[in-house]
Amino acid sequence: MSTYLKPAAMMLLLLTLVTGAAYPALVTVLAQALFSDQANGSLIKNQQGQLIGSELIGQTFSEPKYFWSRPSATGPYSYNAAASSGSNLGPTNPVLIDAVSARIKALKDADPGNKAPVPVDLITASASGLDPHISVAAAEYQIKRIAKIRKINEAKLHELVNAHTEGRQWLVFGEPRVNVLKLNLALDQTGH
């Protein structure tokens, strides 16, 4: 029996060292050396060096002078990274219908003159509930409201949106999108 236990114990020890210590240490060192920003959470800091968020996790913006994010379905509060999830509400669920109706009303109340159709990503949550991006159409939908409140030329806001539009991932996947936190930071830097 000891002829089987000794090699098994040695193999357990060896594999524990390789897969439990050496491999994670190697991956951590390589990630920090090659992809330091991403390995540390893609954190965004303001001009004073204060941490204000991550470019990977959305934030709630409710002031009319900012571009608004896509709604979050996480609980107990919006954009809770510890509780990433969608709402799992079907299209005929009264709770979803009421939530979407309330979101449309909030958008219309903030910009009563805007008669354009509301882009779907401004009224529905993503599957993760953490999406930091909105579509280009959702950003453009909000330009008139922001231009009016901040007293800034709409053309300048279009340029700002275009400058912060990210293309398809690897030129193939997804649609062009805008990171709301980065866009709002750039908006604040315009001085308006």
**What 3 state SS string does 17-86 have?**
HHHHHHHHHHHHHHHHHHCHHHHCCCEEECCCCCEEEECCCCCCCCCCCCCCCCCCCCCCCCCCHHHCCC
Reported as a single tens digit per residue, the pLDDT across 48-95 is 888 999 999 999 999 999 999 999 988 888 888 888 887 788 889 999
pLDDT recorded at residue 31: 92
In this prediction the pTM is: 0.82
| Domain limits, the chain | 1-40, 42-189
If you average pLDDT over residues 97-113, what whole number do you get? 94
Residue 184's contacts (CB-CB under 8 Å, 6 or more residues apart) are: 61, 66, 67
Are the C-beta atoms of 122 and 141 separated by less than 8 Å? Answer: yes
Residues 6+ apart with CB under 8 A from 122: 68, 70, 71, 103, 107, 134, 138, 141, 142
